[in-house]
């Protein structure tokens, strides 16, 4: 009996062992559904394990209680209980990859947890498939601390971007763009006087192909960007392009994407459709007149019911007798339906040691503005290889062709020939498309002499730009040991840009015709030699140290010629003009030499210390002052690891502290006086002997050089924290910064007796303080459905602390008479100053008792607006369900004033809807205020009892709207430009891989996309979009004299991988 029991017991043990020890197998995939080789699969708490093969397969003997741990570099580790399962397939989440490893200054890769300063990192999806060809604009509201402002919706128009506010009074405030470790020039030919120049100039970052982007990192503070030297004083946009890495398991991957979107005008102010061209009679009634430029005339019903007009018709501007009618679409019909077609292809191939990539794309945009277009072609080839002896070499070569065309868009100097300055003002009873805009003699035909027909401006006064660009990177490196590396990177950036502005004969700006050609030849060479050591000093302390040498040389030759008197209409060439003369031109060559070092210490992987220093030698500074050093120090403390805090509620906590200083050198040739060729002699200098007619062949500049110039310096302190909760489903990144820029370099005016009109000096201080917040939430994960929210918040307070002694303000850009933007001590940068109505000591407006109009204050330097926003908020939502993905971005820019010159003229001319609402035309109006003494501004009149006399002088509607807008003090045309916008919308569907297996397609995605589909600007007249800027990428913001609306785009795209 005992023997039987023993046998049964042994059998049960064997059965239990058999039940516990069995084989489990499966396949591991990445987050795109591709098999993932090399994944570690181990039994938790033991050393037993395996790795997946080339197809992602694994097999392992386990027991039912076993917990399997799946881990792979760049992917989130997963733990799965085996239970009774014999097949376990795993999808690895790769979202952690870009969060943990980021690219920092001079291409150094670091764990984000180790950084002691704020940086924002974006995946390629942030800029791709967004119905936008300008990569800068695709970043709008996605990066805390960054303000992006597009100038208008013309194809290729420039974009202003600044990081953490305006720091330099008159210098460049745009960040440095770095592509694959090499500076990429983002200058614009015209940044100062675009308000009146007329042309839709581009920023050269427009040349970047968003389809080729792999990732973007934004370095905001001085501590983050110090290694890049003086060129990075305004922050850095680091762009890493596709390299072919990551396709080794496939051997080769081909990606093709095509998109088609249409665009329409977005932002036509609401117009009245009741009253005709004309003015008002003595009694205030509307009277039609085809010679008047306003729309204060009679209504069609008034003409039909006029006893004095038996025919009920009017004589139009061509002399024809026609019924009077209103053309409600005479503005909107000017705009067309634009088309954007983009195709891109990339071919990537590689293995563990080598990779190759070829990308090509073409963007063709026919804008919604007639005769406006943008065509861009990008071609890049790149390769990298690593040899077994530790040597690696790589590089890329890019060719870019960007062609742009469009009509003049500016006001001021081309106010008579720019389409936008005429279109908005045309009378509501005028049909500009009824007759040809040009007659048989090629003469402009328009209802009003002195102004070009909008279509004549569009087709006969075109601006064009042709850019051909070469951009190369070459990398050579050697792993001396497993902890020491040396590398050399050489970059070359060169382009030619030919700009041409044509004003046809009979144009009002140039009646005999004018052609101006502006040719720019730019090239930059950049080298970095870097030595990097990475070493564990002990079990607790690790070190990463970098020392480097940088050389950057930039050279530009710019030649401008103008020809007047076009001989043959339609041939837009300088050779077709009668008189060609130089119209400006510049040449510069500058060199920057730098030595830098960076040391990063890690203690137990939770306490990180970073020390950085760089010394630059600049050719633009005096020899005795051309060397300048700037240090930086950072501290990062992951307190959640130090205190062993990791639970379901709180997962990660980190504190950051950073201090940095960065310099900024001077503009070229600021240290001495310059000589110019005397322009009066044109190009015929070779035939002249000087002096000629008592004039020298060279002219001395009127700008006095300064041999004592020193660099501008920006010092910055920042503190921040990163927190993650609820299994990383809620994350917060908060930063406070305080930056100060001193020893500003700018020019000041001098008295004629000085011998020079301007002098460059060091003076002035500007501060920027602000908060940056990034929030990442995942409210819902349920089965196949997930919802992610990403939000950004920016609040910056800027102040011009001081200028130089005796200087009360400086202009930040070319201004419009006394109206403009200025740097004023004690005020935010770029405040708007202009005319105001006089007030008495109690704040009452003073009224001219003989006219009923406001009395102008003789002081035209009063502040009437601040273009800096109160805050910027962006909220992006992404909802995924199986293969469907819906994403949309809403941004809110609160505050920031705008002087709207176009609205002023539209209101004064009676075309805005508000001028004809209800019985607005029949009312009599009283301007608020009291009577004032016109001979003593600021002094009110009083009655015999000494009491103020309220205004009782009534004016008609024409006078009221004219005097409170076009002919009013500038303060009454400043608006709060707050706006909420639906910036982006996308709905995509990724086809299941099972559907594609038999047709040689790896993946397929179809998308519907939309951009700028809706906006709400509560303080503007209905329909007007305040996201406009007449000064393009220049420092002066908040001014508009020739409104050009933005584009609303929607369409579809298809992406295939093979």
Q: Is the pLDDT of residue 38 over 80?
A: no
Q: Is the pLDDT of residue 249 over 50?
A: yes
pLDDT at position 242 is 93
Q: How confident is the model at residue 193 (pLDDT cuts 50, 70, 90)?
A: very low
Average pLDDT over residues 270-275: 96
Q: How confident is the model at residue 550 (pLDDT cuts 50, 70, 90)?
A: very high
pLDDT digits (tens, 9 = 90+) for 717-746: 999 999 999 989 999 999 999 999 999 998
Residue 623 CB coordination number (10 Å): 10
1031 and 937 inside one domain: no
796 and 843 inside one domain: no
Average pLDDT over residues 188-193: 62
Q: Tokens in use for 960? A: 């009221």
By C-alpha distance, which of 842, 838, 843, 855 is closest to 953? 855
Q: Is the pLDDT of residue 904 over 50?
A: yes
Average pLDDT over residues 213-217: 94
Residue 737 CB coordination number (10 Å): 25
Q: Is the pLDDT of residue 408 over 90?
A: no
pLDDT at position 9 is 41
Q: Which domain holds residue 839?
A: 831-865+899-973
926 and 1026 inside one domain: no
**More confident position, 753 or 270:** 270
Q: Tokens in use for 250? A: 């496939």
854 and 713 inside one domain: no
| Residue 935 lies inside a defined structural domain of this protein | yes
Lowest mean pLDDT among 463-477, 527-541, 749-763, 830-844: 749-763
pLDDT digits (tens, 9 = 90+) for 683-714: 444 444 555 555 555 677 778 888 989 999 99
Q: Is the pLDDT of residue 97 over 70?
A: no
859 and 875 inside one domain: no
844 and 878 inside one domain: no
pLDDT at position 331 is 96
pLDDT at position 1032 is 74
Residue where one domain finishes, among candidates 79, 94, 109: 94
240 and 346 inside one domain: yes
| Residue 19 lies inside a defined structural domain of this protein | yes
pLDDT digits (tens, 9 = 90+) for 907-934: 999 999 999 999 999 999 999 999 999 9
pTM above 0.85, yes or no: yes
Q: What is the CATH number of the domain that holds 78?
A: 2.60.40.1120
d(CA 713, CA 665): 9
Q: How confident is the model at residue 100 (pLDDT cuts 50, 70, 90)?
A: low
| Residue 123 lies inside a defined structural domain of this protein | no
Q: How confident is the model at residue 224 (pLDDT cuts 50, 70, 90)?
A: very high
Q: Is the pLDDT of residue 762 over 60?
A: yes
d(CA 674, CA 705): 8
| Residue 1022 lies inside a defined structural domain of this protein | yes
255 and 353 inside one domain: yes
Please, how many CA atoms are within 13 Å of residue 474, restricted to the half-sphere of its CB? 8
pLDDT at position 16 is 46
Average pLDDT over residues 363-368: 97
Residue where one domain finishes, among candidates 94, 129, 146: 94
| Residue 543 lies inside a defined structural domain of this protein | yes
Q: Decide the pairing of beta strands 974-976 and 897-900.
A: antiparallel
Three-state DSSP class for 906? Answer: helix
823 and 856 inside one domain: no
pLDDT digits (tens, 9 = 90+) for 803-852: 998 899 998 877 777 899 999 999 999 999 999 999 999 999 999 999 99
| Residue 686 lies inside a defined structural domain of this protein | no
| Residue 293 lies inside a defined structural domain of this protein | no
pLDDT at position 695 is 57
pLDDT at position 1042 is 85
193 and 51 inside one domain: no
910 and 791 inside one domain: no
In the chain, the percentage of residues whose pLDDT exceeds 90 is: 66
Domain total in the chain: 3
Three-state DSSP class for 317? Answer: coil
| Residue 1003 lies inside a defined structural domain of this protein | yes
Please, how many CA atoms are within 13 Å of residue 329, restricted to the half-sphere of its CB? 7
584 and 714 inside one domain: yes
* Cis upstream peptide for 691 (omega within 30°): yes
Residue where one domain finishes, among candidates 41, 71, 94: 94
Q: Is the pLDDT of residue 322 over 70?
A: yes
Residues 6+ away with beta carbon under 8 Å from 224:
104, 105, 115, 117, 118, 119, 235, 236, 658, 660
pLDDT at position 682 is 44
Q: How confident is the model at residue 98 (pLDDT cuts 50, 70, 90)?
A: very low
């Amino acid at each position: 009996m005992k023997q039987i029991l023993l046998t049964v017991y042994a059998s049960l043990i064997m059965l239990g062992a058999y039940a516990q020890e069995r084989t489990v197998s499966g396949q591991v995939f990445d987050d795109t559904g591709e098999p993932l080789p090399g994944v570690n699969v181990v039994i938790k708490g033991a050393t037993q394990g395996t790795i997946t093969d080339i197809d992602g397969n694994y097999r392992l003997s386990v027991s039912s209680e076993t917990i399997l741990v799946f881990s792979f570099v760049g992917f989130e580790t997963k733990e799965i209980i085996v239970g009774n399962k014999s097949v376990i397939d795993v999808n690895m989440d790769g979202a952690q990859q870009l969060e943990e490893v980021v690219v920092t200054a001079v291409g150094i890769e670091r764990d984000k947890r180790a950084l002691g300063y704020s940086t924002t990192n974006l995946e390629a999806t942030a800029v791709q498939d967004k119905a936008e060809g300008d990569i800068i604009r695709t970043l709008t509201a996605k990066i805390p601390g960054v303000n992006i402002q597009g100038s208008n919706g013309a194809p290729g128009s420039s974009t202003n971007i600044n990081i953490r506010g305006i720091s330099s009074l008159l210098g460049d405030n745009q960040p440095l763009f770095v592509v694959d470790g090499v500076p990429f020039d983002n200058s614009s030919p015209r940044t100062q006087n675009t308000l009146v120049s007329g042309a839709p100039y581009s920023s050269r970052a427009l040349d970047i192909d968003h389809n080729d982007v792999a990732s973007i990192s934004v370095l905001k503070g001085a501590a983050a960007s110090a290694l890049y030297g003086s060129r990075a004083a305004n922050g850095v946009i680091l762009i890493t392009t596709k390299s072919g890495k990551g396709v080794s398991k496939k051997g080769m991957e081909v990606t093709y994407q095509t998109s088609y979107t249409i665009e329409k005008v977005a932002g036509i102010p609401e117009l009245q459709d009741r009253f005709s061209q004309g003015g008002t009679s003595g009694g205030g009634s509307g009277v039609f007149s085809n010679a008047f430029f306003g729309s204060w005339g009679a209504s069609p019903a008034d003409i039909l019911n006029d006893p004095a007009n038996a025919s009920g018709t009017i004589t139009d501007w061509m002399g024809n007798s026609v019924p009077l009618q209103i053309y409600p679409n005479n503005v909107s019909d000017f705009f067309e339906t634009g088309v954007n077609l983009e195709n891109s292809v990339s071919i990537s191939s590689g293995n563990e040691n080598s990779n190759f990539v070829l990308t090509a794309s073409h963007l063709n945009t026919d804008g919604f503005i007639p005769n406006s277009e943008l065509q861009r072609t990008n071609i890049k080839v790149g390769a990298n290889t690593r040899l077994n002896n530790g040597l690696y070499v790589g590089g890329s070569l890019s060719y870019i062709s960007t062609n742009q065309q469009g009509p003049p868009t500016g006001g001021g100097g081309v106010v008579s020939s720019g389409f936008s300055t005429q279109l908005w003002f045309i009378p509501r009873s005028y049909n500009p498309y009824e007759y040809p805009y040009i007659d048989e003699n090629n003469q402009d035909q328009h209802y009003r002499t002195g102004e070009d027909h909008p279509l004549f401006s569009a087709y006969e006064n075109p601006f064009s730009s042709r850019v051909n660009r070469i951009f190369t990177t070459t990398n050579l490196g050697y792993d001396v040991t497993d902890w020491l590396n040396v590398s050399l990177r050489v970059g070359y950036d060169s382009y030619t840009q030919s700009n041409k502005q044509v004003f046809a004969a009979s144009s009002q700006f140039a009646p005999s015709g004018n052609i101006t050609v502006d040719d720019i030849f730019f090239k930059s060479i950049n080298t970095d030699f870097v030595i990097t050591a990475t070493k564990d000093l002990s079990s607790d302390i690790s070190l990463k140290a970098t020392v480097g040498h940088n050389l950057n040389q930039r050279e530009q030759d710019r030649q401008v010629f103008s020809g007047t008197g076009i001989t043959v209409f339609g041939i837009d060439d300088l050779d077709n003009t009668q008189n060609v003369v130089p119209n400006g031109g510049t040449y510069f060559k500058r060199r920057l030499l730098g030595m830098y070092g960076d040391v990063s210490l890690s203690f137990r992987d939770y306490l990180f210390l970073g020390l950085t220093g760089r010394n630059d030698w600049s050719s633009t500074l005096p020899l005795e002052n051309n060397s300048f050093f700037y240090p930086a120090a950072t501290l990062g403390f992951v307190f959640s690891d130090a205190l062993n805090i990791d639970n379901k509620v709180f997962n990660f906590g980190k504190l950051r502290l950073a201090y940095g200083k960065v310099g900024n050198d001077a503009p070229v040739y600021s240290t001495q006086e310059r000589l110019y060729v005397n322009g009066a002699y044109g190009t015929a200098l070779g035939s002249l002997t000087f002096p000629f007619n008592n004039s020298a062949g060279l002219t001395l500049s009127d700008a006095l050089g300064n041999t004592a110039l020193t660099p501008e310096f920006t010092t910055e302190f920042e503190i921040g924290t990163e927190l993650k909760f609820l299994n990383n489903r809620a994350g917060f990144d908060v930063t406070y910064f305080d930056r100060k820029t001193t020893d500003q370099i700018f020019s000041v005016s001098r008295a004629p007796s000085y011998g020079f009109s301007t002098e460059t000096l060091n003076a002035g201080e500007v501060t920027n303080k602000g908060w940056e917040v990034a929030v990442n939430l995942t409210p819902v994960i349920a089965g196949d459905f997930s919802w992610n929210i990403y939000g950004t918040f920016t609040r910056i307070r800027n102040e011009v602390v001081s200028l130089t002694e005796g200087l009360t303000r400086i202009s930040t850009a070319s201004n419009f008479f006394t109206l403009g933007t200025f740097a004023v001590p004690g005020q935010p940068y770029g405040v708007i100053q202009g005319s105001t109505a006089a007030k008495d000591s109690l704040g009452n407006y003073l009224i001219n008792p003989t006219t009923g109009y406001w009395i102008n204050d003789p002081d035209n330097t009063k502040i009437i607006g601040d273009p800096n926003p109160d805050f910027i908020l962006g909220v992006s939502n992404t909802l995924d369900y199986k293969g469907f993905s819906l994403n949309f971005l809403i941004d809110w820019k609160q505050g920031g004033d705008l002087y709207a010159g176009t609205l002023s003229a539209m209101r004064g001319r009676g075309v805005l809807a508000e001028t004809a609402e209800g019985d607005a035309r029949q009312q009599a109006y009283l301007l608020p205020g009291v009577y004032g003494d016109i001979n003593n501004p600021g002094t009110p009149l009083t009655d015999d009892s000494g009491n103020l006399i309220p205004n009782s002088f009534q004016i008609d509607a024409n006078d009221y709207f004219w005097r409170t807008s076009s002919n009013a003090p500038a303060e009454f045309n400043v608006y709060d430009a707050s706006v909420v916008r639906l910036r982006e919308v996308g709905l995509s569907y990724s086809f299941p891989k099972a559907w594609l297996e038999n047709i040689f397609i790896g993946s397929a995605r179809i998308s519907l996309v939309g951009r700028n589909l809706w906006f709400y600007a509560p303080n503007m007249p209905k329909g007007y979009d305040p996201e406009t800027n007449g000064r393009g990428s220049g420092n002066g913001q908040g001014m508009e004299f020739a409104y050009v609306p933005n584009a609303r785009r929607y369409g579809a795209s298809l992406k295939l991988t093979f």
